Amino acid sequence: MTAPTAPTAPTAPAEAVLLLRLAGPLQSWGDRSAFNHRETRPEPTKSGVVGLLAAASGRAREEPIEDLVPLRLGVRVDQPGSLLRDYHTVSDFRGRPLPQAGVSAKGVQKPTAPAKYTHVTTRYYLQDAVFLVGAAGPRELLATLEQALRAPAFPLALGRRSCPPTQPLVLGLRDLPLREALAAEPWQASSRAQEEYAALLGRERGAGHPVRPPRIDLSATLEDPAGDDVRHDVPRTFDPRARGFTSRRVRHEWLRVPTGFPRPDAEADAPEDPADHDPFALLGW
């Protein structure tokens, strides 16, 4: 008589999605910036997210990032925020003229001629924005990155050092495809933004009171080799002596996600006519 075999424990999927909530007073995700003009994209770049993961892991700028670059990225815009222009000046605290950008044959910067004591730069930020970011890849690697993000080796920033993230940053691992993971996660906007949206929706529908639907349509950008758009934001290395970027293809779509309202109005969940959809509703315009 053959002894019954013990049931095998289910194995964790080889692939998963690590969900991050990127929110803070300020964010800045540049991909085309010069010294005196620092722009920001309207949503996180892949180089910015990979840099965040590398910093949490304690990697020096010269260390390889070949295991992080293949992660597939998805970004959902939960709260677009608004653009902030910062008037920024640079000067030498010792009162000396600023140096030229070029250097002499000996590698020494010469002072500006005529002497220039203040340099004006323009920097752009996103203020009060909230993004849900999904990184899809090997589950073992993502589990290691999740632990690193919960106890980072280096300070974390949302694109620039002056932009620290608020909590919660890590939402955890999901055993779902990237698109499904982004669509299943509840709306991450601030409670104030959610209530403003409910009030606006109530006015638009003539309800006379805030309308809190169980679902909301949010825009998302997903990395896709067959996508119809191109982003030049994939880092080859963060080594300051050999920095370089390459491109990736992405696609854009709308995801219908749960709002998370405690007592949603079920009748408000009827899909809108595409002709009536207002992409600026979350901005309050």
Q: Where are the domains of the chain?
A: 15-85+124-185+217-255, 189-214+259-285
pLDDT at residue 14, as a whole number: 83
Q: How confident is the model at residue 280 (pLDDT cuts 50, 70, 90)?
A: low
pLDDT at residue 230, as a whole number: 95
Per-residue pLDDT reduced to its tens digit, 30-85 = 876 666 778 889 999 999 999 999 999 999 999 999 999 999 999 999 999 999 98
Per-residue pLDDT reduced to its tens digit, 118-146 = 878 888 999 999 999 999 999 999 999 99
Mean of the pLDDT values across residues 245-251?
Answer: 94
Q: Which among 53, 43, 74, 35 is positioned nearest to 183, based on CA atoms?
A: 74
**What is the CATH number that goes with domain 15-85+124-185+217-255?**
3.30.70.2660
Mean of the pLDDT values across residues 1-26?
Answer: 77
Averaged pLDDT of the chain: 87
pLDDT at residue 246, as a whole number: 92
CA distance 230 to 71: 17
| Structure token pair of residue 207 | 């309800």
Residue with the bigger pLDDT between 186 and 115: it is: 186
Judge whether residue 275 has pLDDT over 50.
no
Q: Which among 69, 71, 189 is positioned nearest to 132, based on CA atoms?
A: 189
Q: Which among 80, 285, 81, 282 is positioned nearest to 195, based on CA atoms?
A: 282
pLDDT at residue 98, as a whole number: 75
CA distance 154 to 58: 6
Mean of the pLDDT values across residues 81-108?
Answer: 79
Report H helices in 115-242.
Answer: 139-150, 178-184, 191-204
pLDDT at residue 22, as a whole number: 98
